[in-house]
Amino acid sequence: MSRIQLGFHINAKKCIGCFTCAMACKNMYHQPVAVLWRKLYPLDESIYPFSHRGFYSLACNHCETPACQAACPVGAYTKRVRDGVVIHDQDKCIGCGNCIRSCPFGAPQYNPVLRKAEKCSLCWQRLDQGLKPACVLSCPVEALELKDFCKADLSSLLAFPPGFPVTSGINPSVRFTLPQSPCIVRQEMP
């Protein structure tokens, strides 16, 4: 069986910052207040110095060598061989918070109701039925795309764009297209 590593392509050129992806995820899993598996990060002026805004829509990056998996003392994280999805088993979690401290992308979150960590599952139950993840399905402008990183041509995409933590040894399964600089149009006065 050939290797598969699923990951997100975040197209910031298309993203309009509507939060639909984050809300679709929230509607699907009904996390408590303040727990968001997918978040929208507006780009700072130092990165995108224009009057309209750019965004990165980020969740778990299902890294090749996940920091959360290496940090967890009870083995609650597993990486599926069939598609590279990193799954968190809440039955095993003891709520030590070590994964939350270790992940440089802030993917695992503390659920204060369950007193356990949790994170984006890449909707693996939907994937197993041949469906798209809720966030990808909901995006009205197709700014989120699921790709097989072992087969897709990623040469034109960025692994560590400005504003995204640069890490070594983890290899997050996420690639970016930067937002487009606006073109200035001068209109001739009649």
Partner 1 sequence: MKPIKEIPLVLFTILSQAAVGLTLMEGFFIFFYPGEARLWSPAVPGLAFLCLLVGLACSLFHLGHPSGGIRSLANLSVSWLSREILAFGGYGAVLGLDMVLRYQGMKIPMVLLSSFIAGLAAVAVSARVYKNPGYPALDTFWPFVFFAGTAWVLGLFLLGMICPSLASVLRPFIAVALVFELMTHFLAPIFWLSGGRAQRCTAIAHYRSFFFWIRGGILVLMTGLFVFARSDLSVLILVLLTVQELIGRVLFFNYMVHAADHIGKSLE
Q: Which residues bind partner 1 (CB under 8 A)?
A: 41-44, 46-47, 55-56, 58, 67, 69-75, 92-98, 100-106, 110, 114-116, 162-167, 170
Residue 157 neighbours by CB distance under 10 Å: 17
Token pair belonging to 37: 């598996």
Structural element, H or E, at residue 23: helix 20-29
Give dist(CA 102, CA 104) in Å, integer.
6
Report the residue number, 49 or 190, with the smaller CB distance to partner 1.
49
Q: Which of 120, 126, 137, 127 is nearest to 173 (CA)?
A: 120
Report the residue number, 82 or 101, with the smaller CB distance to partner 1.
101
Report the residue number, 49 or 130, with the smaller CB distance to partner 1.
49
In angstroms, give the least distance from the CB of 91 to partner 1: 10
Residues 6+ apart with CB under 8 A from 165: 104, 105
Residues 6+ apart with CB under 8 A from 51: 182
Whole-Å CA distances, 103 to 22, 57, 99, 149, 150: 19, 17, 6, 21, 23
Report the residue number, 112 or 182, with the smaller CB distance to partner 1.
112
In angstroms, give the least distance from the CB of 12 to partner 1: 10
Report the residue number, 18 or 137, with the smaller CB distance to partner 1.
18
In angstroms, give the least distance from the CB of 51 to partner 1: 17
In angstroms, give the least distance from the CB of 187 to partner 1: 33
In angstroms, give the least distance from the CB of 79 to partner 1: 12
In angstroms, give the least distance from the CB of 31 to partner 1: 15
Structural element, H or E, at residue 99: helix 98-102
Whole-Å CA distances, 58 to 2, 54, 174: 27, 13, 9
Report the residue number, 20 or 57, with the smaller CB distance to partner 1.
57
The residues pairing with 146 across neighbouring beta strands, listed in sequence order, are 8
